[in-house]
Amino acid sequence: MEARVVDVLVPINDESIAWQHAVLLHRRVGTALVRLDGGTEIEVALDCVAAANPTPDVDDLAELPHLGEPQLLHALALRFERGAIYTACGPSLLALNPWRDLPLYTDDLLHRYRSMVHGQDVIDQPPHIY
């Protein structure tokens, strides 16, 4: 029988609140052996292992099946890396400071969002401050 792959999140380091994807290889008493995406295998405390979402990069965090602190921070980090600084969480909008210029406030984009009727048209668009 083929071993089932279990995707998990583990902290990047002891002082960090950032989480990274890994594959659970083996559980031990109080610890887990995981393989990071780069191939490195590390042992971490079992209480530092969190379930990973099958699709963590979503426009609305309410769509995630697992939404704890590790999953939220990991999803936001993935979106931040690709310049998506706005993320919906149900009816709320989360905004991250990009620390760089992004082409997010063009006149064309402003007019597109302003011309929409509040409702389905807005829901079909990516999260944005407009």
Q: Which of 21, 62, 13 is nearest to 38 (CA)?
A: 21
Rounded (5°) CA angle 69-75-77? 100
Band (pLDDT 50/70/90 cuts) for residue 86 is confident
Encoded tokens for 46: 């079992």
- State how far the Cα of 84 lies from the Cα of 102, in Å rounded to an integer: 9
Mean pLDDT of 20-37: 94
Q: Look over the chain and give the mean of its residue pLDDT values, rounded to a whole number.
A: 83
- pTM over cut 0.95: no
